[in-house]
Amino acid sequence: MNKPKIIAYLKPSCGWSQGVRAIMKKYDLPFEDRDIINDPRQRQEMIEKSGQMLSPCVEVNGRMLADVSGDEVEAYMLANALVGDSVRPADAPTNQPCAHEMPQGSPMNLNFRR
């Protein structure tokens, strides 16, 4: 099976971006990891290609998957027979936001009164 050509527009440290990287590692896929935080040209290229500003964006064989999680990238590649099933687990969560985007605060109080 030929490996797909993959360009991933990612943040250096972000839950969503780490999820995409984990999928690439799970399937042993080579990819270009383009830093959209420290390289404004990469961010601009991502925006022009995807038509939007949210990341991660992953281009697979010329097809742009905009604002995707690792789970969505994996589902796309499996559905299009770009990878086969793998029993290897991902080495990071593949569908999780950045730490600063995680809900904060106290747990819900489940004692309801009438």
Q: Is the four-CA dihedral 28, 1, 58, 15 of positive or negative sign? A: negative
In tens, the pLDDT along 84-96 reads: 999 999 999 999 9
Domain range summary for the chain, segments of one domain joined by +: 6-87
CA distance 37 to 31: 18
In tens, the pLDDT along 16-28 reads: 999 999 999 999 9
Domain at 6-87, CATH class:
alpha beta
> DSSP character for 59?
E
Q: How confident is the model at residue 108 (pLDDT cuts 50, 70, 90)?
A: very low
- Residue 112 pLDDT: 44
